[in-house]
Amino acid sequence: MLNLKDIEEKIAELDYVTLAIVLSLTLFGLISIYSASSYASESRWSFQFIIQFISLFLGMGFLTVIYFTPKQFLLEKSWFFYLLGLALLVLPFFLSGESAETNRWIDLGFVKLQPSEFMKFFLIITLGRYFAITRHSMDSFIYLIKPLFLTLIPFGMVFIQPDLGTSLVYLAVFIGMLFASGIRIYFIFLLIAPLITIIAAFNLTAFTIWGIVLGIIIFYNHTSLFSSVGVFIGNITAGLITPLVWNQLKPYQQTRILTMFNAELDPLGAGYQVLQSQIAIGSGGLRGKGFLAGTQTHLRFLPEQHTDFIFSVIAEEFGFILVVILFILFFTLFIRWFTMAFKARDKFGTMLVVGGTVALLFHFFINIGMTVGLMPVTGKPLPFLSYGGSFLVTCFGLVGIILNGNSEQIPRVPTFR
């Protein structure tokens, strides 16, 4: 099925702009990691720098493999991938016991794998297949039942690892692809509504206003009276029960839930981390303090500086001008990818591009939002720039998925039995 003609075609189609930007970002990430990890190392090249450097090549290899894998193959084998992904997610729970932290990793001795990273691809492929070939009408709610469950299973497994950040990536990917698949926006609203209900339930005024808004939106969407009333009553009931359930929880349980969403509530330090990160970014100014001259970085006031807070290192040492350049590069990537999705000639391709793009965009926003103190500390790294072998390889893989989705090959629909 992999023939020379296909490969030649794909080489001709390759988007070199994407590749150039991604490579420059990664190289710039290497420079920053060199700076951020220079304290820890006796030698000139820190362990982190070397690992990242090797991962760059692994990532490019992975990108190549995924890019050249025919879409037809991905489409047909998506179920296999999905189940493989779930199996990998389950594995750490059996391999390690005591520490919750180790539930995230599969330790192969020389390298640690993070299965939740690989699940991102499998989920994108599986959801892509569903949206591309489903026979359900987009106007019926049944249309989204199956993909919802396909998402909720890995979401739940990663959530209890616990790794809230990654599980939210799955949710973002799902909603992004759902939107791009052409579903009525009302259905997306129905999915998000309960979340808003639960949050609004803690404030009577907010809850009342939300109730009215909810009623109006449901009324104007002309669904059947039965389902309208059902949705409305369901939401209100959930909202009324939420405070009762919340108050039943023990204080330490409440704290645990709150710190999961916002680590700054943890008195032992996340608030301090974000403050130090803001000081690092703010003190960088327009031009930055210069390479290897960031005081916040080199005196180690920045927490997790080569991973989650790499952006703070960059902003401190290179300043606002470089931040703007980075933003332009990232923005170019995302716009270019959404345009690819828009122009793609097959549904499956569109879905792959959207899934990959949303995953990377979500990471970008969550990470930078965290370093500047706009988002809670969820501990998500910054694509291409943060240190982390698994993560870098995943990011390259996602680029591979996006570029593959963009290719002209149009897979055939499998025959249904």
Binding site for other proteins (CB under 8 A): 132-133, 138, 179-182, 276, 278-286, 295-296, 298-301, 315, 319-320, 323-324, 327, 330-331, 334-335, 338-339, 341-342, 344-350, 354, 361, 365, 368-369, 372-374, 410-413
Q: Cβ of residue 330: shortest distance to other proteins, in angstroms?
A: 8
Q: Cβ of residue 282: shortest distance to other proteins, in angstroms?
A: 3
**Of the two residues 138 and 260, which places its CB atom closer to other proteins in the complex?**
138
**Of the two residues 211 and 373, which places its CB atom closer to other proteins in the complex?**
373
The tokens of 337 are what?
A: 């990818």
The tokens of 81 are what?
A: 């991938």
**Of the two residues 63 and 177, which places its CB atom closer to other proteins in the complex?**
177
Q: Cβ of residue 315: shortest distance to other proteins, in angstroms?
A: 7
Nearest residue to 411 (alpha-carbon basis) of 6, 5, 4: 6
Contacts of 222 (CB under 8 A, 6+ apart): none
Q: Cβ of residue 276: shortest distance to other proteins, in angstroms?
A: 8
Nearest residue to 312 (alpha-carbon basis) of 391, 399, 377, 360: 377
**Of the two residues 56 and 314, which places its CB atom closer to other proteins in the complex?**
314
Task: Check: CB of residue 307 under 8 Å from CB of residue 381.
Answer: yes
Task: Check: CB of residue 363 under 8 Å from CB of residue 381.
Answer: yes
Other Cβ atoms closer than 10 A to 86: 16
**Of the two residues 12 and 286, which places its CB atom closer to other proteins in the complex?**
286
The tokens of 387 are what?
A: 């240190």
Residue 371: CA count within 13 A, CB half-sphere: 28
**Of the two residues 262 and 283, which places its CB atom closer to other proteins in the complex?**
283
Task: Say how many Å lie between the first and final Cα of the chain, rounded.
Answer: 23
Residue 308 is given by DSSP the state: T
Residue 171 parent element (H or E):
helix 164-180
Q: What is the rounded distance in angstroms from the CA atom of residue 229 to the CA atom of residue 218?
A: 9
Nearest residue to 351 (alpha-carbon basis) of 362, 361, 365, 340: 340
Task: Check: CB of residue 151 under 8 Å from CB of residue 170.
Answer: yes
Q: Cβ of residue 241: shortest distance to other proteins, in angstroms?
A: 32
Other Cβ atoms closer than 10 A to 230: 13
Q: What is the rounded distance in angstroms from the CA atom of residue 164 to the CA atom of residue 146?
A: 22
Q: Cβ of residue 92: shortest distance to other proteins, in angstroms?
A: 32
Contacts of 247 (CB under 8 A, 6+ apart): none
**Of the two residues 46 and 114, which places its CB atom closer to other proteins in the complex?**
46
Q: Cβ of residue 183: shortest distance to other proteins, in angstroms?
A: 8
The tokens of 15 are what?
A: 């988007």
Q: Cβ of residue 401: shortest distance to other proteins, in angstroms?
A: 16
**Of the two residues 203 and 339, which places its CB atom closer to other proteins in the complex?**
339
Report helix angle 347-371 to 310-343, nearest 10. 160
Q: Cβ of residue 290: shortest distance to other proteins, in angstroms?
A: 13
**Of the two residues 62 and 143, which places its CB atom closer to other proteins in the complex?**
143
Q: Cβ of residue 201: shortest distance to other proteins, in angstroms?
A: 27
**Of the two residues 60 and 361, which places its CB atom closer to other proteins in the complex?**
361
Q: What is the rounded distance in angstroms from the CA atom of residue 182 to the CA atom of residue 184?
A: 6
